[in-house]
Structure 1
Amino acid sequence: MPDTDHPYTNHVEPALTPDNVIKALSIDNLIFGLDHGTLDIMLIKHRDGISKGRWGLPGGWIRYDENLRDAATRHLSELTGVQNLYLEQLKTFGRVDRFPSERVVTIAYYALVSAEDYSLVAGDNAADASWFSVHELPELIYDHAEILQYGIKFLQQQVRCRPIGFNLLPEKFTLLQLQELYEGILGTKLDKPNFRRKIMKMNLLASCDEKQQGVAHRAAKLYRFDEQAYQALTEKGFSFEI
C-alpha cells in the first residue's frame, strides 16, 4: 500500500514491486490522437497522492529490470488499457524544479494515432482516462503543459517533413481528407489549391481509379499513399515538405 504522504506517490508506482523502481527517473507518454480533424491528447486523472484529482500525461516510475520503452508501454497499458502502440522517444525533461520536493528527470515518449480506434479504460492508480483537444485542456500537473507544448511543436515539425500522417487515413482517401488531416495536426487552415498542387507534385499518391461511393455531394477521386515511391525518392535525396 503506497504512502500517500510521500512526495513520490504523485507518480503512479508499480503496485506489486514499489521498491524495484528508480525513484529519480520517470516516464511520461504523449499519445496524440486525431479525431475528425481535431488533434487530441490522452490524459489520466490521478487517483492518489498529492496530485489526486488532477490531470496529467500517463506515466510513472521505471523499474530497474525493464527497458525504457517497455516502461512506457507498461504504464500506458496499466493506466489507459491501450496496448500495441509503437512509441518513439521524444525528449528528456530535467528542470531542477519540475517535480515538487525531489529531483526527478522524466523521459517522454510519443505516438500519433487515430483517436476513434482507441477506447480508454482507466486502470491502476488512474481515476479516469480521456481524450482532450489540445486547444481545450484542463490544468495539468507539474511541467506537463510544457512537455505537451514541446510535443505539439515537434509533431507539427515532423508531419511537415515526413509523411507520418498518412497511416491515420483509410487505405483509400480523398485529397480533402488528406488536407483535413494536416489541418488538424498543424492547427491551421491550408490553402486548398496550393496544398493540392504541392501534394500532387511530390508524386507520392497513386490514383485508385475510383471515386467515393454513397456520398450526398459530388464524389471525389480516391488515392492511396505509394510507400515504394516514397522510399525510392528518399534514396535519391527527395525532401518531403508540406
Structure 2
Amino acid sequence: MSTLTLPPQATPAGLAVDIAAFAMHQGELQVLLVERGTLPHARTWALPGGFVQLNEELHEAALRELRTETTVELEPRLLEQFYTFGAVDRDPRGRIVSVAHMAVLPHGTVSVTGGGNTLGAGWFPAHQPPPLAFDHAEILAHAIERLQVRLEYANLALEFLPETFTLPELQGVHEAILNRKLDKRNFRKRLLAQGVLATSGERRSGVGRPAQLYRRAGRLRLVGNL
C-alpha cells in the first residue's frame, strides 16, 4: 500500500478553535472571556480557545477548550461553527488558522472560574467588551452579527430563556442582541400571529398584574424588520 504525503508546496499551519459563548444576564447580552496566563498576550482578556488535537473533531475541541478554560460543565444550548479566521499575521507564534464557534449557554449559567492556563474567567457586555487578544474583537463582532441574522429566521432567542417566559423577557432578548429598542405592540402582534408560542397556563406574580407565561410551540421565524 502506498503512503500518501503532502505535496512539497504545502505550508504547515496550526489549527485552532475559538469560542464566542453568550448568555443573558440581568437583561444584557454577555460574552464569556478568559484572562490569558501565557504569552503571547498574557494578562489580556480573550475568547476561550486553543489548538485542535490530532484525532479530535472541531466541535469536540471547542467543547474541551470551553470546559477546560472556564470550568463550564453544562452542555451549550447551541454550538456551531460560523467563520474561519486565517489572516497571515493573526498570531505572532506562526501561521494559525482558527475555526470560530458560537455557543449559547443555558439560562442561569452565571458562575465561572478560570481553568487550564488561564488566570480567570468572567462575563462581559458583548457589545462593549474590554480590549481583546489576537483578532478576538473581530471574531466577537462576527459572532454578534451571526446572532442578529439568526433572529430573522430561527428560534435563537428562545435558547437564551428558561422553559417558560414572558413576552417582555423574549422581547428583551431580541433587544439585547440587536442592541436597540423594538416597538412593543408591533413585536407582540407579529410574534403571536406566527403561532410559534403557546401559553403555559401559568402566570408569574410580581408588581402589578400577573404576567402570562409562554413556552416554545415550534420554530420561531421572524421575517422583516421589527
Normalising by structure 1, report the TM-score: 0.81
Find the aligned partners of 1:66 and 1:114 in 2 and give their Cα distance: 25
Is 1:179–2:171 an aligned residue pair?
A: yes
Following superposition, the deviation at residue 115 of structure 1 comes to: 6.1
Cα deviation, 1:162-220, whole Å, max 9, x if unaligned, reads 0122132232222111111111111110000100111011011112343222x122222
Find the aligned partners of 1:36 and 1:25 in 2 and give their Cα distance: 36
Moved over 3 A (4+): none
Q: In the TM superposition, what are the counterparts of 1:12-91 in structure 2 within 5 Å?
A: 24-83=14-73, 84-85=75-76, 86-91=78-83
Q: Is the 8 A contact 1:62 1:68 kept in 2?
A: yes
Secondary structure of the structure 1 residue equivalent to 2:21 = strand
Could you list the runs of 5+ residues in structure 1 that have no partner in the other structure? Answer: 1-21
Is 1:147–2:139 an aligned residue pair?
A: yes
Find the aligned partners of 2:123 and 2:82 in 1 and give their Cα distance: 20
Following superposition, the deviation at residue 131 of structure 1 comes to: 0.6
Find the aligned partners of 1:102 and 1:61 in 2 and give their Cα distance: 13
Secondary structure of the structure 2 residue equivalent to 1:161 = coil
Aligned counterpart, 1:211: 203
Identity %: 36
Could you list the runs of 5+ residues in structure 2 that have no partner in the other structure? Answer: 1-11
| Further displaced range: 85-94 or 142-151 | 85-94
Find the aligned partners of 2:187 and 2:20 in 1 and give their Cα distance: 28
Q: Is the 8 A contact 2:112 2:121 kept in 1?
A: yes
Find the aligned partners of 1:34 and 1:205 in 2 and give their Cα distance: 20
Secondary structure of the structure 1 residue equivalent to 2:52 = strand
Q: Is the 8 A contact 1:179 1:195 kept in 2?
A: yes
Cα deviation, 1:24-53, whole Å, max 9, x if unaligned, reads 111101101111221111111111112111
Aligned counterpart, 1:191: 183
Q: Is the 8 A contact 1:35 1:114 kept in 2?
A: no
Q: Is the 8 A contact 2:91 2:134 kept in 1?
A: yes
Q: Is the 8 A contact 2:32 2:121 kept in 1?
A: yes
Is 1:113–2:105 an aligned residue pair?
A: yes
Find the aligned partners of 2:13 and 2:198 in 1 and give their Cα distance: 51
Q: Is the 8 A contact 2:164 2:214 kept in 1?
A: yes
Find the aligned partners of 1:195 and 1:75 in 2 and give their Cα distance: 38
Q: In the TM superposition, what are the counterparts of 1:132-171 in structure 2 within 5 Å?
A: 132-171=124-163
Normalising by structure 2, report the TM-score: 0.86
- Residues 160 and 37 of structure 1, relative CA distance in 2, 3 Å threshold: farther
Find the aligned partners of 1:41 and 1:168 in 2 and give their Cα distance: 12
Following superposition, the deviation at residue 122 of structure 1 comes to: 0.7
- Give the number of aligned pairs: 211
